[in-house]
Amino acid sequence: MKNIAFIGAGIMGRCMIRNLMKAGYELTVYDINPDAVKELAAEGAKPCEEVSACVKGQDIVITMVTSPAVVESLYFGDAGILNHAEAGTYLVDMTTSRPSLAKKIYEAAKEKGLHAMDAPVTGGEYGAKEGVLSILAGGEEADFEACRDVLSAMGTNLTYEGEAGSGQHTKMGNQIILAGTLSGIAQAVAYAKAEGLDGERFIKSVSTGAAASTQLSQQGMHMFDGNYEAGFYIRHFVKDMKIAVQEAQAAGLCLEELESILKKYESLMEDGMEFSGMQAIVKYYAK
């Protein structure tokens, strides 16, 4: 596989595109916002104005967009991927999306002689930039192995999770953990600030013990300092949590803590913070 169509040049996508080009792949890139592609084109990517043209003649098509609705439109639209990718092409959706949609894409692709996988990622902007994402793949294991080298250009922890939709289910579990972890850290930071503790000393003290976590190390001081710059937008995290709640309910589960945290993030969006980082949850707790 040498030729790759990559659809979605946002915060994550553009970093992943750069890593693929560094690995020697030929990239054809489409984004609904043409300006997002201009910088990548200057670095060697081939810009494309239409999805249908972007996917023709490619070995693999990767999508990394904002929501299930966009994914569905990209794959099932008249000018979309399923109608224009050539038989034998590998289709890899790396968007965090609905497991049911991943299964729908897989079945439709199979009927057309295409190989579809759901392969959402974890690791945020840092992981995308450094090429150390964790990639959670669902679909046919043979397809996963066929795409391993391409995926390795973007991530270091590649896991085949099972049948179509399994990658998305795994990502939902990840987001459930992330929601609880960020909420816990925010409450601890609010408490430490209220008691007058030094921020750096507090984070250093607790970041090597039983409460240690990547999020504590990455976001703890941001919370103390009121730095809400986004590595991952609140609006996208809210989308993910909504999917997780819906999937849990469909499985007969009531995840009360997740639902409570979701409401807190939704209140931040109502306050105009949809493009802030996830660490802004501390505003809900801290005075």
Given 103, 104, 129, 171, which residue is catalytic? 171
Amino acid at 198: D
Question: Residue 233's beta-bridge partner residues?
Answer: 277
Cα separation values, 33 from 36, 37, 56, 181, 257, Å: 6, 7, 20, 34, 36
Instruction: Compute the CA torsion angle 29, 23, 148, 89 (nearest 10 deg).
Output: 30
| Residues β-bridged to residue 285 | none
Beta strands in the chain (DSSP E): 3-7, 26-30, 46-47, 60-63, 90-93, 115-118, 121-122, 133-138, 155-162
Sign of the dihedral defined by the CA atoms of residues 239, 275, 127, 22, in that order: positive
C-alpha pair distances (Å), 136 with each of 39, 131, 141, 146, 269? 29, 15, 12, 15, 28
Is 60 strand, coil or helix?
Answer: strand
Instruction: Specify whether 239 is catalytic.
Output: no
Report residue 135: phi and psi, to 5°: -115, 125
Closest CA to 85 of 123, 111, 103, 66: 111
Q: With contact defined as beta carbons under 8 Å apart, do 138 and 118 qualify?
A: yes
Catalytic residues: 171
